[in-house]
Homo-oligomer: A and B are copies of this chain.
């Protein structure tokens, strides 16, 4: 046979590689972590897509590039990316930076392992178990199960799949054709992943029954019960109620205790989507918002949102002690989950999920929690509530800010009414003009890069801002700035 080419060439020069990583690390510290959290810097450096594509030269080619060029690329990616850790980034349900969590994330990336077997992830198998146990304890469960998922959407979908399997285990092998039509109950204000899940799992979005909410956006348990009964009378089987603790737009908390009563009466799986709100469980002062959560069957909770653990960090928690998660999701692949290993194969947790590769998302949360303790995490939650209270007080003192609802959580939903529109509520074009205010202010805001905040319509309410407070970096000054800036950007409209 022909001589084989040089097989000892490592292709990658490890000391040069580490040097590069060192330089890249410095850029990250400087551009992302120093400038990116500096209130005097911009939140974003807006570019039109065409211009950005030119600036960044995304094209991939046959030949590689010199190290200096690549470091410049690292710098450019940082420069033109949104600074989500900036104290004036109020745009999403995540923000801020925690350095211990970030250290954990760097460590995860460097270790580059998969959380499926004890063999390949001994530390993380045990760590995940403990983190899940601690989260369950806050829910109020001394026993149970759980798993970290790539996002709250997946956590919500797993809950649906578990509820389905518990009711009709044959669905796993025979498919939905073998079982009666299933219905999922949730409010119109729940997260869209409930819809996506119903479609993806083959249940269909038409089989979501929309439950009415009260004026605060909370499920009305009486309506839930009526709809469950109606559904049954129509021959479908009520599968799951997906309640929300902290709805995406309004931040509403569904009344869990009263929903639990209904679920118990009708023997329906109670799922709590606490992706956003779950972290109130750390706070003595605010955990009452989730009173009754211990009666749920499952809880989805994203520490990457309010706790600032970093994307992604989402836990699905279960009260179940019958190994439902594994029974429902397992495929028993013998190449990965051999049964003749030299350790307890129950430590091979990978078959509890529908994923194969799975990241050790527990590490960032664990390290952060070790660093500040439950007390430190509670302080973050409480601080955010206080800032919101302050913001609302200030808003009330200014003309032109119209709060849509009294915030129950950290979502402050409001219209800004420019001076030219004040007192003109009766005009025929008022709603159309109002609908246009937020998009225009938003456009000006991102083009100037001073801050970021989201807006949306909801039901019959035209576009309004949804201000979200998360990051511990945020101060009273930032709240005042926020109001000033909305005025500055919108006063001429």
Is chain A's binding surface mostly helix, strand, loop or mixed? helix
Determine whether the beta carbon of B120 is less than 8 Å from that of A82: yes
Asked if A405 is at the interface of the complex by the 8 Å CB criterion, the answer is no
Asked if A62 is at the interface of the complex by the 8 Å CB criterion, the answer is yes
Distance between Cα atoms of A333 and B191 in the complex (Å)? 9
Binds B, one of A63-71, A214-222, A226-234, A261-269: A63-71
Contacts of A140 in B (CB 8 A): none
Asked if A431 is at the interface of the complex by the 8 Å CB criterion, the answer is no
For the complex of A and B, the 10 pairs showing the least CB-CB separation, nearest first, are: A202-B202, A175-B204, A17-B99, A24-B103, A150-B150, A58-B130, A342-B443, A335-B456, A11-B472, A192-B331
Binds B, one of A290-298, A349-357, A416-424, A483-491: A349-357
Determine whether the beta carbon of B379 is less than 8 Å from that of A11: yes
A395 to chain B, nearest CB (A): 14
Contacts A17-B99, A105-B109, A110-B32: A151 and B358 contacting too (C-beta < 8 A)? Answer: yes
Within 8 A of B (CB), among A118-142: 118-127, 129-131, 134
Contacts of A196 in B (CB 8 A): 329, 331, 354
Additional pairs, 19, CB under 8 Å, beyond known A63-B373, A73-B370, A81-B113? A4-B390, A8-B477, A14-B37, A17-B100, A24-B103, A59-B130, A60-B130, A74-B104, A82-B122, A85-B112, A94-B114, A176-B203, A193-B331, A200-B201, A335-B456, A336-B454, A338-B463, A341-B439, A341-B443
Asked if A283 is at the interface of the complex by the 8 Å CB criterion, the answer is no
Which listed residue, B7, B53, B85, B356, touches A383 by the CB 8 Å rule? B7
Contacts of A457 in B (CB 8 A): 334
Determine whether the beta carbon of B17 is less than 8 Å from that of A173: no
Asked if A304 is at the interface of the complex by the 8 Å CB criterion, the answer is yes
Contacts of A171 in B (CB 8 A): 199, 202, 204
Determine whether the beta carbon of A81 is less than 8 Å from that of B123: yes
Contacts A82-B120, A120-B82: A344 and B49 contacting too (C-beta < 8 A)? Answer: yes
Which listed residue, B109, B157, B193, B356, touches A102 by the CB 8 Å rule? B109
Asked if A186 is at the interface of the complex by the 8 Å CB criterion, the answer is no
Distance between Cα atoms of A206 and B173 in the complex (Å)? 5
Most B CB contacts (10 A, CB to CB) among A123, A435, A472 go to: A123
Determine whether the beta carbon of B78 is less than 8 Å from that of A357: no
Contacts of A28 in B (CB 8 A): 106-107, 110
Distance between Cα atoms of A198 and B177 in the complex (Å)? 13
Contacts A153-B354, A191-B356, A443-B342: A205 and B59 contacting too (C-beta < 8 A)? Answer: no
Determine whether the beta carbon of A192 is less than 8 Å from that of B70: no
Contacts of A277 in B (CB 8 A): none
Distance between Cα atoms of A47 and B288 in the complex (Å)? 42
Contacts of A178 in B (CB 8 A): 204
Binary per-residue interface labels of chain A (168-208) against chain B in the complex, 1 for a CB within 8 Å, 0 otherwise: 00011111111001100000000111011111111111110
Which listed residue, B103, B302, B383, B454, touches A74 by the CB 8 Å rule? B103
A339 to chain B, nearest CB (A): 10
Distance between Cα atoms of A473 and B11 in the complex (Å)? 8
Contacts A82-B121, A122-B81: A11 and B192 contacting too (C-beta < 8 A)? Answer: no
Q: How large is the interface on A (under 10, 10 to 19, 20 to 34, 35 or more residues)?
A: 35 or more
Contacts of A318 in B (CB 8 A): none
Determine whether the beta carbon of A61 is less than 8 Å from that of B192: no
Determine whether the beta carbon of B375 is less than 8 Å from that of A63: yes
Contacts of A177 in B (CB 8 A): 176-177, 181, 204
Determine whether the beta carbon of B153 is less than 8 Å from that of A355: yes
Within 8 A of B (CB), among A71-116: 73-74, 77-78, 80-82, 84-85, 91-92, 94, 97-100, 102-107, 109-114
Distance between Cα atoms of A195 and B354 in the complex (Å)? 10
Contacts of A34 in B (CB 8 A): 18
Contacts A24-B103, A176-B202, A343-B49: A153 and B356 contacting too (C-beta < 8 A)? Answer: yes
A434 to chain B, nearest CB (A): 13
15 A-B pairs with C-beta separation under 8 A:
A7-B386, A8-B477, A12-B473, A25-B103, A56-B127, A59-B134, A60-B373, A61-B374, A70-B371, A82-B113, A82-B122, A200-B201, A314-B357, A336-B454, A342-B443
